[in-house]
Amino acid sequence: MKPKQRTALITIASVWILTATLLLVATNAFAQSRPSSGNIYSQIQLFSEVLQKLKQNYVTELSDEELIEAAIKGMLNSTDPHTNYFTADQFKDFTTSTRGSFGGLGIQIDKIGDYITVVSPIEGTPAYRMGITAGDKIVKVDGVSIVGVTTDESIKKMRGDVGTEVIITVSRPGIAGFIDFTIVRENIKINSVPYSFKMDNGAGYIRISQFNENTTADLRTSLAELEKEGITGLIIDLRFNPGGLLDQAVDTVNEFIGYNKLVVETKGRIRQDALYTRYNSKQRNYPIIVLVNEASASASEIFAGSLQDWDKGLVVGKNTFGKGSVQQLIPLSNNNGIKITTSYYYIKSGRCIHKMSNDKLLTGKEVTPEELEKENEDTHSQIYYTSKGREVYGGGGITPDIIIDNDLLTRFGVDLRRKNVFFNYAIDYLVNHDHKVSKNPIITAEIMNEFLEYAKTQDISYTAADLDSARSFIESSIKSELVRKVHGDLASYKISISQDNQLQKAISLFDRFKTLEEMFIYAEEFKPKK
């Protein structure tokens, strides 16, 4: 008997078996709790009736498994964008990124409306190097539209064997037309602290890219090395950090606030939990700046907000993403699983960092500019207080003590990045110069002209105005790529940040103020006038 024939024969029986099972579950649930509205028993009967009629009358044969799975997904999707159903393989893969390595392009994505949208590129990955950035909407994969396609299906299209190419087409806010990125897939390994070094002004710099199981250990190692070098201050860079493990966020905060201090509470309908720091830590008296942006989410918001609440760090940059809901992974009997939003995060001051408009956007609902403006106004009308009595704002992410905008790439700069012009030019240059370059090479007029001629061979056109506006970026990028190939990623990164407006302004605060208290007083000038 063919599989389809067998399915047809058991269809009616399976519907009635399913009905009996659902009714039994409903009866048990009804006996244990009183539904807030309606009668769950009759609703399950209605569901069973619809399923039976659909199976009996639909024009083609339908799969019981697919129908039930669709019903489950629909039920979960009616709640919020973070409550999801996973097949066995998806459930197994879901936690991979928190264990430090996985295959792919190196981007954190979510579905906003019909579009798969980049939440954050992962530092050091092929997507990051090519210039994929937060907010990019992925419209095609290898020329095939993925508008309206599920997140899971989109991920399948983007994954592939290591070393193979995939073309990602994105729509970027502020840039007309689509942009194609040809990216070579890699085995993605996440280093939670990819960069840590002492800067020229004596302050230390630590970049935390994600909160995975290694973050606390990596942070401790970096702090010990920097403090041995005698740093006079510290920048902790959480920009584009999508979050990760809650316990790691708490333990990293512990390094700066000490033992038995409240970091975050999770409050839900069923239970509430309070997470406190667990161990003694070294007293750190140097000023600390926490750098955030719109792609800093979840655990990184808890970290930034906690240092702000305990007056242990000055938060600068842009308002964070506002992902303050807590999900619980629950395995099912068939090795599938579900992820359910169970509570919200509330940091020490009492602030809930969740931004409700994000849930609407992620489920495809329209949010008008007026609604966003009102949400922002409401956020700044909710006043909370730090441990020393400083005013901070509640809801809608973490509001920095000092707002600092970042520069955006021009279209000319985007084209140079996405076509790998800097990378390829550096290879040719080093072949012609015996792979010798200093750690701080000078980009002469001859090198610049040679680079621009090379760019023209890659079908990149530009005007004098384009070149004028992008010159500093181009010089820094050439220098950074040359140094990367000879002296490594860290030496290259130190050069690239010279063009980082947010970071450079944060660094300048150490030149003006010697203590965190002085920085707090200065930050008061940026508070909205009442």
Residues acting as catalytic residues: 298, 309, 323
Q: In 3D, which of 203, 200, 282, 303 has the Cα closest to residue 515?
A: 203
CB-CB contact of 387 with 308 (8 Å)? no
Q: Both tokens of residue 518? A: 């002085």
Whole-number Å distance between alpha carbons of 342 and 108: 22
CB-CB contact of 330 with 338 (8 Å)? yes
Q: Rg of the Cα trace of the chain?
A: 26
Those residues with Cβ within 8 angstroms of residue 397's Cβ, 6 or more apart along the chain or in another chain? 301, 319, 320, 321, 322, 324, 353, 355
Q: In 3D, which of 378, 390, 305, 383 has the Cα closest to residue 348?
A: 305
- Residues pairing with 265 in the sheet: 274, 346
Q: In 3D, which of 291, 320, 410, 352 has the Cα closest to residue 134?
A: 320
CB-CB contact of 85 with 97 (8 Å)? no
- Residues pairing with 266 in the sheet: 273, 345
Burial of 252 (0-12, 13-18, 19+ CB in 10 A): buried
CB-CB contact of 277 with 302 (8 Å)? no
Q: Phi and psi (nearest 5°) for 126?
A: -60, -40
Q: Which residue has the tokens 């950090």?
A: 241
DSSP state for residue 298 in the 8-state scheme: T
Q: In 3D, which of 28, 67, 73, 66 has the Cα closest to residue 50?
A: 67
Count CB atoms within 10 A of the CB of residue 212.
Answer: 20
SS3 content of the chain, % helix, strand, coil (to 5): 45, 20, 35
Count CB atoms within 10 A of the CB of residue 499.
Answer: 16
DSSP state for residue 165 in the 8-state scheme: E
CB-CB contact of 389 with 395 (8 Å)? no
Q: In 3D, which of 381, 244, 387, 243 has the Cα closest to residue 320?
A: 243
